Each structure stands twice: as structure tokens, then as C-alpha cells.
Structure 1
Amino acid sequence: MRRKIIFSLLLLGDTIVVSVVPFLALLIRFDGDVSPFYYKQLLMYVPTIIVIQPLIFYWFNLYNRLWRYAGVDEILNIMAAVTVSSVALFGYIVLSPDYVYLPRSLHLLSWMMTIFFIGGSRLTIRFLYYYMLRQSKREARVQNVLIVGAGDAGAILAREINQRYFKEKKVVGFIDDEPSKINQYFLGTKVLGRRCEIPDIVEEHQVDEIIIAMPSAASAVIKETVWQCKMADCSAKIVPGIYEMIDGQESVQQLREVDLEDLLRRDPVKLDLENISSYLTGKRVLVTGAGGSIGSELCRQIARMAPSMLLLLGKGENSIYEIDNELKEKFGHITTEPIIADVRDAVRLQDIFAIYRPEVVFHAAAHKHVPLMEAHPIEAVRNNIFGTKNVAEAADRFGVKNFVMISTDKAVNPTSVMGTTKRVAELIIQNLSRKSATKFVAVRFGNVLGSRGSVIPLFKKQIAKGGPITVTHPDMQRYFMTIPEASQLVLQAGSMANGGEVFVLDMGKPVKIVDMACDLIELSGLVPYKEIDIKFTGLRPGEKMFEELLTAEEGSQATKHEKIFVANIKMADEKKLFDSLKRLQTITDKDRIIREISYLVPSYSGPNKESKKEEKVAELLDKRLAATMT
């Protein structure tokens, strides 16, 4: 009913406007001295005007829009509707058999005045709605918001706050380091200063909340901005980083607290979507370990490429159920098939491949927890080595086109059972690539932020309990990237496969674990070593002080993608590999397993070697300290 009333009022108003405007144009054209002859001629066309123009306005949807949110797009639409209707009307009048000359300027003036009155009527609706709601909420406490970043993201965010959230928030200003923007007005709001001036600006303008709207900013910039917010004792939120942005549209609902990923933010990945879609779009794609951190993100990224079917294979029923439901909700146009299976079951895998005939396989299923695999090497062998072998042989047998295995930097000069078994898995698929039509490749990368088993969730739990945070060593470093970034680069590497390559991702610079711990403590509003202590526990079994992506002997070759390289790795001796695998199938003794995988991977330094080395260094430091004290 309300819509009908609004429609009727708008139609009535437009009818009056288009009827009156030509006569007003005549008055302007002749400075008020209009011949009765022109009035008479114009009256002949009023019925035609009343029919043609509102009909075209209706065709341009001028009667079914929410004008209380009118903006530039709506004004452009009004201009288009009036222009088309004016041209149609001009053509009708000129071609009319009863046509009598009317001044051409009359049509131009009518066009301009119609745009003015029609556009003005719509903008009046917006201003009245805005004013009435402001008046109704005048007594309410509105939060003063300061936006850091006077760019595209800041503009979208400010518009959203001004149009939809003005009852709760008010943008009092922008912050930007670009000198040309300082003291200029951006969307009607002043750019108050630079990031280094945030504490003073917060105090002067009584800012309640700071929003960092720089989705592509480097980690150092975000970190410095967060520090300035902390100095100002003001809460800070952030627009999601580039890897979290799906459609490029920021909104207030997407804002979240600043997290560690923002402080370690990396440059956006540039993807060759044409090459990626060429081997995924319309294909049957299988992901093993689909419920895990990397596996589930691979599924999300693959779903965007519109495969004909996405097979979600994993042995954890809850995680597979969750990712399947998520994909059905977000990507209802694709077919997903959840499959509960264990990669160690070769017979079951053969059946799955025979039924579904996947064309592309991403093998992400693996045991990754280093200390646990040190304690249970037989499980690492069964899952990481023979699980990979089972999936790869099924892919070969049933003619899979592309097979991409997720590997790890821990496979390089491994000190752990987990890393060594992943290196053996690389050898298996490299060997298969020699004689198979399937393109087998592996992709190596380091740690991913937020994955299950990573240090970040552990640190957050320890902070919640009041500390201490436990770090193995003050000098321990790791490579880190976000889960979406790693997954996108894996898809890109798969598009480059010729068969047999081990791709290595550019992980950037390694990060000290203790620095990450300090950052997390500060993000929680606490002070490291004072309010939350940090304790060093020593290296755990199988852990390294530093991770490597390549051995000195391997080296690498560049690819056409700036963040993907190919390791120069020698192929394994096939007889040696298969003889050793046969022995591993029957071995259950821990020491014999260690000896066998050491035989397959000579660079494996054996259990606890790195830990013992660190223990000796610690003992030496203790002795020197004791000598100094005495």
C-alpha cells in the first residue's frame, strides 16, 4: 500500500512538472513577453507530453527506487531518462503533420529545467528522510569516528556510515599522509592530518573509534598506525585486507579488530585467472584433506572458478560437513560432493576415482604436527608417504590431468620425521611423473597464519589465561603467509605444471616468533614481559631454528609468476625408492623407520640433532654466565 502511494505521488508530481516546464521555458525564452500564438501551439502538445515523458520515466525505473539513498548513479539515471524522453518528444513534434515552428531553444530549456525539477524532487525525499531520522535520534550518543586513509576504501566506508549508520556514528575527519590532501575536504569531511598526529587529533575531536581503511597497505604502515591508535588510547578497527576482500566492496559489517595478519600483511597476489580457469572451470576437481585449513581454503578458491563438480575428501566428518555446507551456501551454482575416506585406504580410493573420475586433484591431506610425528613416525609414514602414494597411483590409473601435492619447507634438509616423510612424498610423485600422462607437481611453502596447529591460536589462549606465552627460542624464525595467499599461489602453480616440478613459493622475509608474540600481546592491549610474560622452553623434538625453502645444491629457476619458482631437484633412483618403500610397509619399529627414511633422504639429520645442538649452545652460555658472575 505504501509503495502504491509513493508511486502515485511521484507520478503525479512528474506529470505536473512536465506539463508546466514548457510554459516556464517559453517565459524565460521571451523574457516574459510571450505571444498568445506560442501558448496556443504548445497547448496542442501537452497531452502528448503527459503520455510520452512519464512512460519513459517508468521505463527508466524512476518510480521503484529507494530515493532516500539517492546518489550519483540515481542522478545520472534521471538525466538519461529526461534526455531520452526529450529527444523522443522533439522527434514527435517535428514529424507531426500539424507542426508549427517553435524556438529550438525551448526544447533545450525544457530539458534542463525538467532535469532540475525531477532530480530536485528525488533529492528532496532523501534530505527529508535524513533530516527526520536525525531529529528523532538527536538525543542519542553518536560515536565520533576517525578514518585513516582518504582513498577509495575510506570513501566507500564514509558513504556507508553517512547513509546507513549515521544514527550511531559520525565521521569527524580523515587521516592521510599525502601532503596534497591535508586540510582538504574529502566527501565534505576534512582531512585533519597525518598518521603521526593521530593522538592529538583524537583528543581535539573527542574521537571514540578509529577505522583503518587501507586494505592494500604494507604491514609496516598498519603496525605504525596501530601503535599511534594505542598511544591515543582509542579503539581501532580495520577494513579487511586484500585477501579477505571478495567483491571489492567494504562495509561496516566487515570491520573487525586489528589482528596479527594485518601486522604481517604481504603484497597482494597477482593471479593469471585465465590460465587458472582453463584447467579448473568446468572440470571435476578432487581435494584431499578438504576439511583442513589449506584444503578448505583451496575449496573456496576453486569454487570461484566454477568447476563442474568439487569433490571434498577427508576422514573428519565434522570438518567435511562444515566446508560442504559453507560452499553450498556461498556457491550454490556448483555441485559439491562430500566424501568421507582415508587416503591410507588404497582400495577405497580406487573406488572413488572409478566412480567420480576427477580431472584435477589437489592433495592436501597430511599429518603436519612436528613433535607428534616425532613420537609416532609410523603414522607419518602411513599418512604422508603411503597416503600420497595411494592418491597419486589412483590419479595415474584413472587419467587425472593435473595432480598438485601440498608440500612444506620442512622437507628441505629435514630435521623432523614430518619433513622427511613429505620429502619422500615429493620423490614419489616426481618418479610417477616420468611415465604418467598425469602432470604431477608439488608446491612447497612455509607456515600459514591461522592454520590449525599454528602458534597463533596457542598464543591467544595463553594471553586469555594471563600468560605466560611460551616460545621455544628467542632467535627462532619462520616464514609466514596467509591461508588465502598460499591457496591462490597453489592454484597458479598448478596452471604452470608440465610434470615433475617442485614449485617453491616466495615466502618473503622470515619473522621471529618472539616478535609475533609481542605483537599479539600489544594487540590485546597489554605490555609484553610486564603484564604478560614470555618464557623460552627450548627446541622441541624435530624442530629447526630456521626453515629453508631450498637446499644449497638445489637452487631454483624463475617462472612467469614473480612469487613462484621451480626447484632444481634431482630425480630419485627408482629402484632404491621402491625397495625402500616395500621395507617401510612392513616396519613398525620406530628406530628402523628412522633408519629407512634416512636412507631415502640422506639430508635428514636424524631425531633431536638440532635440539641437542641447541642444548650444547645453551650449556655453553650458562657456563659463561656463571663464570662472569663469579
Structure 2
Amino acid sequence: MRRRDKQFIAVLTDFFLLAFAFWSAVALRFDSLTPPLQVYYWMALAAPLTAIPVFIRLGLYRAVVRFMEDRVVYVVFLGVTLSVLGLTAFVAFQHILGVSRGVLVIYWLLAILYVGASRFLARSYFLNAERQLAGRKRVAIYGAGRAGTQLAFALRAGRDYLPVAFFDDKAELQRTELAGLRVYAPEEIAEVLATKGVTEILLAVPSASRARRAEILALLEPFPCALKIVPGMADIVSGSVTVDALRPVDIEDLLGREAVAPDARLLAACITGKSVLVSGAGGSIGAELCRQIVTQRPQRLVLLELSEFALYAIDQELRPLAARAGIELVPVLGSVLHQRRNELLMRSYGVETVYHAAAYKHVPLVEHNPVEGLRNNAIGTRRLAEAAAAAGVQTFVLISTDKAVRPTNIMGASKRLAELILQALARQGGSTRFCMVRFGNVLGSSGSVVPLFRKQIESGGPITLTHPDITRFFMTIPEAAQLVIQAGAMAQGGEVFVLDMGKPVRILDLAKRMVRLSGLEAIDEQHPNGDIAIDIVGLRPGEKLYEELLIGDNVEGTTHPLIMRAFEHELPWSELIERLQAMDDACRRFDYADAMSLLRGAVCEYTPGHQGEAELLWRRLERSASTMSPSSLH
């Protein structure tokens, strides 16, 4: 029906209800079903004619009955009261005799009851009718607070979800009803899910700490239903999302630690009002560093990136933010290997701080392309660092990895060599402070297993796992980026900063939890008829069962509880420079054997794992290179 037609029906209904309310008042006052109406018949007509214009003025007919709030009681109360006062004033001024004040009082009560009850009965009818709509998912809401109640009303108004129960751990709320739904204790979850046909549980505790949300999710995880979560309170209050903007529960919600508030002084020290360059600005860590840097209001942010698409994406994302903050944004397409160009770039834009995040980091790919990995990660770091020193950069921060500790793959060994390069340059003296920050996997990065597992679950499996006992450290990308910035501000020169990554996570357990979060079950000995298979495919070339963050035990704390300073062996620049030059020459000649020999000599902890496929590839390339002229190899 058209909106106007529905409003006309509402006005007509109120007209008859108000007239009936007046007749009922007269009947009750005189205790008769056939009361004397000689004096009151005109008032039975005047009652609705005075009340309805007031209702229109107060907006009663603009409210959609299905979405009507409890405020309607106030509107009805005010409208009827004003109309009764108008009738009373008219009787008094006209000196009409025989009108009982008791009739007006009873009419006032009955009119509020009749009109108000009609609204709530209509709303209940429409909501109950909508609950029967096919295709609505029956859901339960964990959290019977304000956010949970608002979520229940919002979902009822929609067509996708039908809330049927609340769960809450507060004893005073249990056994009560909120928004027409019963509140149950967490101990009753299994019974309620079975009896009410719940297919999803929605977590509505936006103000709870991350640790508390992780506890609740761990409680809900074993149940055979999908989990979704309401956004954080900060996002709801800011207006960027609404309370019903549900999102799937990510593994970050289970693994993420309670965030430690960043030190504003450390965040601003190397950024605010300065010219900052980020290499690898389009990567997972580089892009997040750029986002964090923009919030600290640098004078200028230079984005150095080898991938055109990645540079375009981060430039488009940051440009509106930079414009609002008055920050000059400079996208630069190029490689860290171009030393002369990068020196000119830093001089031209007066770069004062460099965050070096550019790296080839996918272990199997670098293992199959060892010379390129070595050139980009190690030789590229040397050239960018020397360019920074020549350009007078104040602070140079290398983003390192836990795979640099006792490496078994070329990616880790090349990053350890990059650390040695910066340590040696720092000992050379000069105005540039060199330091490095070492941490493990970040959740949701392009190299993380989490996006891969999620895609495999969405496609019905199987999940591919290299080894049942493999473990890894995990940290969220924003937390890692914040800690990198703060660690860089602590640098005096040559430090290896190590981030506290918490406890290592068993990847098999991670895979099973992700399956359960999707409302499915992994196939294992306890669940042979599960939904998603987990295939063990064997360790990849160079992959370790577990990662470490420290080479030795010589470590001390800093002023930040999550940042430690490690003291590890170094190589003098005079010894290292000869190896680096020979390594660069070997890479130019495509001399795989010589390059790997020099790498093992420089990184004494490097113990190569299986490299059969990489060696076969490079034997073929060497045979091809032997037929080419020496000049063409450059």
C-alpha cells in the first residue's frame, strides 16, 4: 500500500477508537451499557476531532508501525492530554451544564490505552508475520546489554536474521526478557541451539576488552554454528558503522592480544613534521606503516614501491587523508637497488626518516629464485642504506623477520645479512642512525597462512598444511607497525630490536579453529564425517618447524614492555664489504654456487635446508648463461 493510504487508515482507526473511548467513559461513569448521551453526543464527535490534529502535529502518523519505538507512548499521552484539556476548556468557557468531570478523566485514561495498545498490537502483528518469512536465519545474540538489544531490534526490522534468544553471563539478566527475547545462561547454549534451530551466534559486546572477547569466542567455538561479531564501540560511536554491521569472526579476534597503548612521544619522534620515506610502501607491512605515519602528520611521505599496482592502491587510499592533514604525498615507482637514484630522491625531498620494508619474503619463492632474493633483500638493503647515509638521513629502520634467526632458507639468511650490513654501517659512524626491528608473522598479510586457509575453507577444502607440529608467532599488522615506529625512535645506532610476539601458535590448531569459526567441522579422528579435510603436504624447501626471535640469550628490555634489545655478533665493515662486493659480482654473473658460498660465509648460522629444486633450476640457467657473451650478462 502507498504510505498515504496507510496513514489514512491509521487516522480513521484512531477516530473510531477515540469515539469508542468516549462512549466507554460515559458507560463506565453511569454504570450502564445504555448511558444518557443527550449531553455527550457532540463531545463524542469532538473528542477525536480535537485529538487527531494534535497527533498529526506531534508526528504520530509519520512513525512506521513496524519500526515504532516506545516513545510512541509519550506522543499518545501528550496528544490525548492536550485534547482533553481543550475539551475541558471549551466546556468551562461555554458554561455547558451537566457534563461530569469524571467522564473526562475516564476518557483520558481509556483514550491513552486504546490508541497506545492499538500501536503495540499492530507492531507485534507485523513483527510476528515477518518472523515467518522464509530464508531468515535463526540467530542467538551473546550479550544482552544495550548493543545486543539494539542489534535485536535492527535484525527484526531486516529480512536476513531472526533473533530468537539472548545469552549473557550476568546472573541478574538471566531468566529475564529483553526486546521480547529470553536471556539464557552460557551453560544453556547447547540446549537452546538444539531446541530453537539456531544457525549463527552473534557476539554483541563491543565495549569488552580484546582478551574478554577472545574468552567468549573460545567458549562459543566448539558449538556447531557460525560466529559473527558486532564492530568495536569506537567505530559505532564514531558513526563509521552501525550496530548491525556484523562481520565474520576473524582468527585475529582469537589470537590478538590486549593492545598496549602506544607511547605518543615515541610515535611522533621520527615522523611529526619530518620528511619520511617508506620502501615497499604497497606491501602488507609497508602499507600499514604508511597509514600509521599519516596519523602522525609528517611534512611529507615518500612512497617507494616496485609494483605499479601496489603503489597505485596505497596512493589512492592515502591521498584523501594526506590532503585533509596537509601532507605532501609522493608516489615513486622504483627499486631499492637503484642506489644513485634513491640518493637523489632522498636529497630532493629532504628525507629524514626511512622505514625499509621492501623485501622478497615468501620462503618457497625466494628458495626457487635465490639470486634475486639475495640481491633484493641483502644487496638492496646495502644500497638503500648507503644512499640514506650519503643523503644525510637521520634514522634508517630495517623491517626484519624471525626467519633471520638461525636461518634454514635463503629468505631468512638474506635478511640476517641485511641486519649485519646495518650493524656494520652503524659502527662506521656518521650522522645516520641505523637499526632493525625483528618480528614474526603478521595476521592477514599476503604471506600469512590465514588468507590461504580462509580461501580454502570457502571453496570447501581441503586445507593444506605442511606439518602437523609446525608453529609460528603471530601479531596483528597495526600492532606490528606501531611497535616498529616506536622502536625506531629508541635507536642510538646498530640495535637489533625484537618485538614480544607472545606464545607461538600451532598451525594445525589454527586451521581447526578457523574451520569451526565458519560453522563447520574439520575431518579428524574424532570427527570422521566432518566438512573440511586437512591434508599434510610436507615441509616446503627451507621451511622450519618453528621460528625463533633471538640468536642467543643476550637480550635486555627497553622502556616499552613489548620491545626488547638483542645483542648479537657482528661483522666489521672492512670484512663485510669484500664479501658483499664478491656476492654482487656473483649475482651479476648468475653464479649461484659462488653466491651461496659467500652467503654461508657471511651468515655463520645459516644451515641450508633442502634446495634440490633451486639447484636444478640454476644449473639450467648457468648452462644458458655460459653460451652468452660476458657483456650481455650485465
Once the two structures are superposed, the pairs formed by residues 262-273 of structure 1 within 5 Å of their partners are 262-273=253-264
Distance 1:67 1:559 in 2: 60
Aligned residue identity for 2:350: R
> How far apart are 1:492 and its partner, in Å?
2.0
> How far apart are 1:522 and its partner, in Å?
2.7
Aligned residue pairs, count: 491
Aligned residue identity for 2:600: S
Change (3 A) 1:170 1:540: closer
> How far apart are 1:222 and its partner, in Å?
4.4
Once the two structures are superposed, the pairs formed by residues 195-234 of structure 1 within 5 Å of their partners are 195-202=186-193, 209-214=200-205, 216-218=209-211, 221-227=215-221, 229-230=223-224, 234=225
Moved more, 321-330 or 363-372: 321-330
Kindly indicate whether the alpha-carbon contact (under 8 Å) linking 1:162 and 1:170 is maintained by their aligned counterparts in 2.
no
Aligned residue among 503, 511, 528 for 2:523: 528
Aligned to 1:411: 404
Aligned to 2:580: 581
Change (3 A) 1:555 1:469: same
> How far apart are 1:128 and its partner, in Å?
12
Distance 1:546 1:225 in 2: 28
Aligned residue identity for 1:597: L
Aligned to 1:387, what secondary structure does the other structure show?
helix
Aligned to 2:416: 423
Instruction: Kindly indicate whether residue 344 of structure 2 is the aligned counterpart of residue 351 of structure 1.
Output: yes
Aligned to 1:311: 302
> How far apart are 1:227 and its partner, in Å?
2.4
Aligned to 2:317: 326
Instruction: Kindly indicate whether residue 142 of structure 2 is the aligned counterpart of residue 148 of structure 1.
Output: yes
Aligned to 1:537: 537
Aligned to 2:355: 362
Kindly indicate whether the alpha-carbon contact (under 8 Å) linking 2:467 and 2:538 is maintained by their aligned counterparts in 1.
yes
Distance 1:610 1:129 in 2: 77
> How far apart are 1:263 and its partner, in Å?
2.6
Change (3 A) 1:504 1:140: same
Aligned to 1:601: 603
> How far apart are 1:409 and its partner, in Å?
0.4
Once the two structures are superposed, the pairs formed by residues 328-407 of structure 1 within 5 Å of their partners are 328-330=319-321, 332-333=323-324, 334-407=327-400
Moved more, 275-284 or 132-141: 132-141
Aligned residue among 431, 450, 461 for 2:444: 450
For structure 1, which runs of at least 5 residues remain unmatched after alignment? 1-65, 72-125, 612-630
> How far apart are 1:526 and its partner, in Å?
3.6
> How far apart are 1:278 and its partner, in Å?
3.4
Change (3 A) 1:167 1:546: closer
> How far apart are 1:354 and its partner, in Å?
2.0
User: Normalising by structure 2, what TM-score?
Assistant: 0.69
Distance 1:146 1:328 in 2: 41
Kindly indicate whether the alpha-carbon contact (under 8 Å) linking 1:175 and 1:194 is maintained by their aligned counterparts in 2.
yes
Aligned residue identity for 1:256: R
Aligned to 2:598, what secondary structure does the other structure show?
helix
Aligned to 1:560: 559
Moved more, 252-261 or 469-478: 252-261
Kindly indicate whether the alpha-carbon contact (under 8 Å) linking 1:222 and 1:262 is maintained by their aligned counterparts in 2.
no
The superposition leaves residues 493-541 of structure 1 with CA deviations (integer Å, 9 ceiling, x where unpaired) of: 1222222111111111111122222223333424324433222222222
The structure having more radius of gyration, on CA atoms, is 2
Distance 2:176 2:353 in 1: 54
Change (3 A) 1:159 1:214: closer
Change (3 A) 1:322 1:267: same
Distance 1:285 1:276 in 2: 13
Distance 1:305 1:67 in 2: 45
The superposition leaves residues 461-492 of structure 1 with CA deviations (integer Å, 9 ceiling, x where unpaired) of: 43344433222211111111121221121122
Change (3 A) 1:191 1:262: farther
> How far apart are 1:430 and its partner, in Å?
1.6
Kindly indicate whether the alpha-carbon contact (under 8 Å) linking 2:472 and 2:504 is maintained by their aligned counterparts in 1.
yes
Aligned to 2:464: 470
Change (3 A) 1:556 1:390: same
Kindly indicate whether the alpha-carbon contact (under 8 Å) linking 1:199 and 1:228 is maintained by their aligned counterparts in 2.
no
Aligned to 1:587, what secondary structure does the other structure show?
helix
Change (3 A) 1:177 1:139: closer
Distance 1:236 1:351 in 2: 52
Aligned to 2:565, what secondary structure does the other structure show?
strand
Aligned residue identity for 2:551: T
> How far apart are 1:164 and its partner, in Å?
9.1
Kindly indicate whether the alpha-carbon contact (under 8 Å) linking 1:156 and 1:251 is maintained by their aligned counterparts in 2.
no
> How far apart are 1:565 and its partner, in Å?
0.6
Aligned to 2:29: none
Q: What is the Cα-based RMSD across aligned positions, in Å?
A: 3.8
Change (3 A) 1:200 1:601: same
Kindly indicate whether the alpha-carbon contact (under 8 Å) linking 1:475 and 1:512 is maintained by their aligned counterparts in 2.
yes
The superposition leaves residues 3-53 of structure 1 with CA deviations (integer Å, 9 ceiling, x where unpaired) of: xxxxxxxxxxxxxxxxxxxxxxxxxxxxxxxxxxxxxxxxxxxxxxxxxxx
Distance 1:227 1:338 in 2: 44
User: Normalising by structure 1, what TM-score?
Assistant: 0.69
Aligned to 2:488: 494
Aligned to 1:177: 169
Change (3 A) 1:136 1:181: closer
Distance 2:476 2:240 in 1: 21
Change (3 A) 1:244 1:475: farther
Instruction: Kindly indicate whether residue 299 of structure 2 is the aligned counterpart of residue 300 of structure 1.
Output: no
Aligned to 1:288: 279
Distance 2:218 2:153 in 1: 28
> How far apart are 1:199 and its partner, in Å?
2.8
Change (3 A) 1:472 1:204: closer
Aligned to 1:482: 476
User: Could you say which structure has the greater relative contact order, defined with CA pairs below 8 angstroms and 6 or more residues apart?
Assistant: 2
Change (3 A) 1:184 1:385: same
Distance 1:70 1:496 in 2: 57
Aligned to 2:17: none
Aligned to 2:397, what secondary structure does the other structure show?
strand
Aligned residue identity for 1:224: A
> How far apart are 1:609 and its partner, in Å?
8.8
Aligned to 2:34: none
Kindly indicate whether the alpha-carbon contact (under 8 Å) linking 1:584 and 1:593 is maintained by their aligned counterparts in 2.
yes
Kindly indicate whether the alpha-carbon contact (under 8 Å) linking 1:501 and 1:566 is maintained by their aligned counterparts in 2.
yes
The superposition leaves residues 207-258 of structure 1 with CA deviations (integer Å, 9 ceiling, x where unpaired) of: 564211345343752443432542xxx4431134799999597633642112
Distance 2:247 2:391 in 1: 46
